Structure 1
Amino acid sequence: MKSLHMIGSPRMGGAERWFVRFINAMLRHGEEVEVAVRRGSELARHHFAGRAHYELPYSTVWDPFSRYAVSRLIARSEAPIVQTYMGRATRLTRIQPGRGKVHVARLGGYYKLDAFRHAHAWIGNTKGLCDWMIRGGLPAKRVFHITNFAEPPRAVAAEALAALRRRIAVRPEDWTILAPGRLIDVKGHRYLIDALRRLPAEINGRRLRLVVLGDGELAGPLKEQARQAGVAERILWAGWQHDPAPWFHMANMVVFPSREAETLGNVILEAWAYGKPLVVTAFRGAREITRPGEDAWVVPCDDGAALAAGMEHVIRNPDLQKHMVTNGLVRIERDFSEAAIIAQYRGLYAKLLDHWI
């Protein structure tokens, strides 16, 4: 069945990367989808350029032109399922019952529910998020839990990886720590910099190098923190990468130091999919999906000393690394595979159409 997917973000982030991943997976599995992104956004310029898509203004939630553009597209579309992401696209989407369409709002975070209450059904990517929506007054029978999946790893030629190492001055014998995520408070990068300050410059004769994969409002303060901590020369600020595959292949370990408010954390799934040992903090999403000591090494949130100890423990234990990597790959195949998650969306859409229309 056809579905229309709408998102109004101007820049890329975890939610937007998931949007691209989900649309691509739907297409791979033969689903008919339409996409509406913000005009001039990074999604439009980098991910849907040259592909069929709509570009809408999504200026503000009060803008009459944006509301008209959204309403007009929905009316013209033959898709009976309209799925919105984030607050702006959701608030601009208004579909009255009995119009032959179902509005599904997908939440990937603990947003203010008032922006989402008018939808007909809601999807949360963690059980905790779904429970929170129900406690917030959304009817339980129309709240559905469907988790995220990991995108299949993209192969990268050895020559390309070698060229990347040369470009960023990382030696093949270095121990490269990858930390993907927007540079915002919830991602906890300041505790990672504090952890790096506490770690030796080398472990088992290998230099430690941290690659921060992301950008955001805290870029300046974090770089200043690194300078004052004396670890600036050990950090590469790689910025946002529209194709993170080479960086994951190059990494020896992935660290995800988010704070308690983090909902799920796609980085966990990406680390497992790429077969990388993972050190993660015990935020609420990680507590729900990881198995400490089995598929991830889990340490307390907001604790640079604990994070440093956990990182060093994993680096010094090759058997532990192999154990976690093996189990992480099993988790991807068993619990977070693309085929299984797309099948759940397909089943939900059929259920909603059967009961709503």
Structure 2
Amino acid sequence: MKVLLLDLGKIIRGGQRQVFYLARYLKQTAGVEPIVVTPQGAPLEAILKEVGIRCFTLPSGCDWNLFNIYRFIHIVSSEKPDIVHTNDAKGASLAALAKMYLGNFKLIHSRRVSYPLKTGWSRKKYLYGDALVAVSKEIQQILIRCEIPREKTTTIHSGIDATLYSKEKHEHRLLTIGAVGALSTQKGFEVLIEALAELKKKKTLPDWQCLIAGDGPLLQQLKIRADELELTGSIIFLGYKDSKEVLPEIDILAVPSIDGEGSNAVIKEGWASGTPVITSDLQSNLELVTHEQDGLIFQNRDAKDLALAIVRLIEDKQLSDKLIENGSITINGFTDITMAERYMHLYQKLVS
């Protein structure tokens, strides 16, 4: 079986990591040959080649680029994959066009965000898929409400390679709260900063600091808000840092996402690194975290509720230890291997 994975992302984020994990698993599976198509110069290409996976490149990351369309159709025609599996919305467009033109392969789309499909081609391209994989049950239900046939849909949560994360913590003079992610609206860092302002009012707490690891369009806005709330000395903006470097420095991990989440990787990374997790009550987060078992849940967009959750973990070590212990068990259901095995089963079902 030959599987072509298509991703038009130009940077490494959660979706590109899933492509890497899946391709790596497929390469180690007897009777399966993975090939990956990325934009020229995309960092995903380099890390795939390091593990010996064949890659093809496209001129750009655009779906309606005529050179991209021609090049992709040529790749599919010459390689003759049994499965074409897209991993982002632009890739879904390109592969749907190839399906219309060639029609001699099974097409799978993975959908990683919980926003409804727009009308027109933005929705129609998904109808050309033989299967649509949502990375959460919430996304699967949204696809169905957008008139994607239920029988074409399934849910496969994203996974992480838990073996990459150390549970050893680095000692700090200050208790350290942390958050990791792109500094964009949907990640909810404004809520976290407002919650930290609430913490500052509580004079009985131990001295603390907050590390925010990430880059994005809201960086300056978040710094200004932190300054307005007199938190400049308490929040350290690290810029982009790999979570594997940051998590050993963190005592409490906050995941304050406000919308659009698929299957949050940072929650899983918290479990894998032995860090107690606090997250918002987005439906997709509730598919992962069980309140007071392997994490704490706070009301979405409610900074005071997030602050109360942080205080609980600061003051209740027994609860914190319980969340860490149970999280180390929960992560076993959300590994890269678990994710890849479920995709492999879907591939086999389609080609048989």
Name the TM-score, length of structure 1 as normaliser.
0.87
Residue by residue over 1:258-308, the C-alpha shift from the partner in whole angstroms, topping out at 9 and shown as x without a partner, is: 014323211111111212100101012112221111111100011111111
CA RMSD of aligned residues (A): 2.5
Residue by residue over 1:294-341, the C-alpha shift from the partner in whole angstroms, topping out at 9 and shown as x without a partner, is: 1111000111111111111112111001111111111122x3233332
Report what 1:86 is aligned to: 88
Structure-1 separation of matches of 2:72 and 2:203: 55
Report what 1:95 is aligned to: 99
Give yes or no for contact 2:4–2:37 (8 Å, CA) kept in 1. yes
Structure 1 residues 239, 14: CA separation in 2 closer, same or farther (over 3 Å shift)?
farther
Give yes or no for contact 1:153–1:274 (8 Å, CA) kept in 2. no
Give yes or no for contact 2:165–2:273 (8 Å, CA) kept in 1. no
Gapped regions of structure 2 (runs ≥ 5): none
Structure-2 separation of matches of 1:332 and 1:200: 33
Structure 1 residues 302, 145: CA separation in 2 closer, same or farther (over 3 Å shift)?
same
Deviation at 1:59, TM superposition (A): 4.2
Structure-2 separation of matches of 1:35 and 1:79: 11
Deviation at 1:77, TM superposition (A): 1.9
After superposing on structure 2, the runs of 4+ consecutive aligned residues of structure 1 that deviate more than 6 Å are 201-205
Structure-2 separation of matches of 1:38 and 1:240: 22
Which runs of structure 2 are paired with 1:162-201 in the superposition (5 Å)?
172-200=172-200
For these two proteins, the number of residue pairs brought into alignment is: 341
Give yes or no for contact 2:167–2:274 (8 Å, CA) kept in 1. no
SS of corresponding position for 1:233: coil
Structure 1 residues 312, 107: CA separation in 2 closer, same or farther (over 3 Å shift)?
same
Give yes or no for contact 2:258–2:282 (8 Å, CA) kept in 1. yes
Deviation at 1:117, TM superposition (A): 2.5
Structure-2 separation of matches of 1:309 and 1:137: 41
Report what 2:327 is aligned to: 328
Structure-1 separation of matches of 2:129 and 2:203: 53
Give yes or no for contact 2:191–2:256 (8 Å, CA) kept in 1. yes
Name the TM-score, length of structure 2 as normaliser.
0.88
Deviation at 1:23, TM superposition (A): 3.1
Moved more, 314-323 or 199-208: 199-208
Structure-2 separation of matches of 1:325 and 1:109: 27
Gapped regions of structure 1 (runs ≥ 5): 163-170
Equivalent pairs: percent with the same residue?
A: 21
SS of corresponding position for 1:346: helix
Deviation at 1:190, TM superposition (A): 0.3
Give yes or no for contact 2:191–2:302 (8 Å, CA) kept in 1. yes
Structure-2 separation of matches of 1:130 and 1:297: 25
Structure-1 separation of matches of 2:9 and 2:212: 22
The alignment status of 1:281 with 2:294, answered yes or no, reads no
Which runs of structure 2 are paired with 1:48-63 in the superposition (5 Å)?
48=48, 50=50, 52-63=54-65
Report what 1:352 is aligned to: 350
Give yes or no for contact 1:255–1:279 (8 Å, CA) kept in 2. yes
Give yes or no for contact 1:183–1:216 (8 Å, CA) kept in 2. yes
